[in-house]
Amino acid sequence: MSVKANQTELAAALSRALKSAECGSPPLPELASEWVKQARSDAHLHGMALDILGHAHQHLSAHRAAQDAFAAAIEQYQQAGSQQSATNTLILLGTSLLLSEEPLRALEQWSNALELARETQNLAQCARVYLAIGQVYIGFGEDKVALEYNQKALKMAKLLADDRLACETHLYVVNDYLRMKRYAQALAELDCAEQLLTHPNKIWAAEIIYYRGAIHAQQGLFSQAKIELETAYDLSFDNDNLWGQVQALATLGEVLLALHAENTVVILQQALSLAERIQLRSVVERCNRALIQCYLDNQQLEPALSLLAKTCQAHSPKVIHISTQHQQRILELENRSSILQLQRELVV
């Protein structure tokens, strides 16, 4: 077989794998690493293979490995002149940095991505950056600002008639309303997301069921929430999605605590172990609080005091704020993308 034919086959395989990875089903890192070796002679294909490798590591919450792969993919895409692909991967790199608790570095990547998206007049990429920036504001406790960014992204998705982007954006808005305890609006957004989930995406399918369980738990509908959260966990487990597993288990543990279920401690300890493994500090704290309460409810003072002492010894998280420089740059780029959106509206 000729080199050209081999390259064509490789390109087709990488295209399928990247699409699956973007829909929540990446290959194992070992397979992605083999593709990286095979694609070295072509900068764009090499970028795709590295992109897939980044997804594969990210899916397993191996953030540092994912960041290295995404950064290398960006270099290859830029070398190949694939600006749109480089911008997409910049967004992914920022998301990975946020997950490893580096929000200011994440903002740098997203600012760069927003600038590139504006240059290429790609409104969909502008919307995805808005979604990402909203996540940083969540970390700073500014839920209202996060919701505003997500609603701007949703407006762009609707303007583009992009159902996939709209589905993703509705899920971000669901999360906002859940944190703000606006449950009726959260459920309405969830219905919209479910209607738009017309293409297979295992992560989003599990998230939809998870959010229903989380909302119902907050509403005190514990028996219904228990079923939904168990289902969400099973879907995430089958898809090897650690982030989805730990979120479902932690919330399920809190529901079981409210139901005074016998397996509460087992589930909370399982959630705690996973959260510590992938360094989800906020979930670790939730699990510890629920475990302490469970021990106290069962009059198990010794393990309650032991865990309380361990929790008190933990270092307090470093307080991080968005710098004035970051705020100014985001505002400037936001104004530019708003102009792009207005231009698109006038054309439509």
Q: Is 24 part of a structural domain of the chain?
A: yes
Asked if residue 95 and residue 37 are part of one domain, the reply reads yes
Q: Is 338 part of a structural domain of the chain?
A: no
Q: What's 52's domain CATH number? A: 1.25.40.10
Q: Is 138 part of a structural domain of the chain?
A: yes
Q: What is the pLDDT of residue 346?
A: 40
Asked if residue 111 and residue 24 are part of one domain, the reply reads yes
Q: What is the pLDDT of residues 119-142, one digit of tens each?
A: 888 899 999 989 988 888 887 788
Asked if residue 87 and residue 68 are part of one domain, the reply reads yes
Is the pLDDT at 105 greater than 90, yes or no? no
Question: Model confidence at 339, in pLDDT bands (50, 70, 90)?
Answer: very low
Q: What is the pLDDT of residues 167-191, one digit of tens each?
A: 999 999 999 999 999 999 999 999 9
Highest average pLDDT, of 136-145, 156-165, 300-309, comes from 156-165
Q: Is 217 part of a structural domain of the chain?
A: no
Q: What is the pLDDT of residue 100?
A: 86
Q: What is the pLDDT of residue 275?
A: 94
Domain boundary among the residues 60, 89, 119 is at 119
Asked if residue 175 and residue 275 are part of one domain, the reply reads no
Q: What is the pLDDT of residue 281?
A: 87
Asked if residue 295 and residue 232 are part of one domain, the reply reads yes
Q: Is 334 part of a structural domain of the chain?
A: no
Question: Model confidence at 107, in pLDDT bands (50, 70, 90)?
Answer: confident
Q: What is the pLDDT of residue 200?
A: 85
Asked if residue 133 and residue 97 are part of one domain, the reply reads no
Q: What is the pLDDT of residue 328?
A: 65
Q: Is 344 part of a structural domain of the chain?
A: no
Asked if residue 265 and residue 191 are part of one domain, the reply reads no
Residue 173 belongs to what domain range?
122-198
Q: Is 70 part of a structural domain of the chain?
A: yes
Q: What is the pLDDT of residue 325?
A: 63
Domain boundary among the residues 153, 178, 198 is at 198
Q: Is 210 part of a structural domain of the chain?
A: no
Structural domains counted in the chain: 3
Q: What is the pLDDT of residue 2?
A: 45
Q: pTM score, two decimals? A: 0.84
Is the pLDDT at 318 greater than 70, yes or no? no
Q: How far apart are CA 96 and CA 116, in angstroms?
A: 19
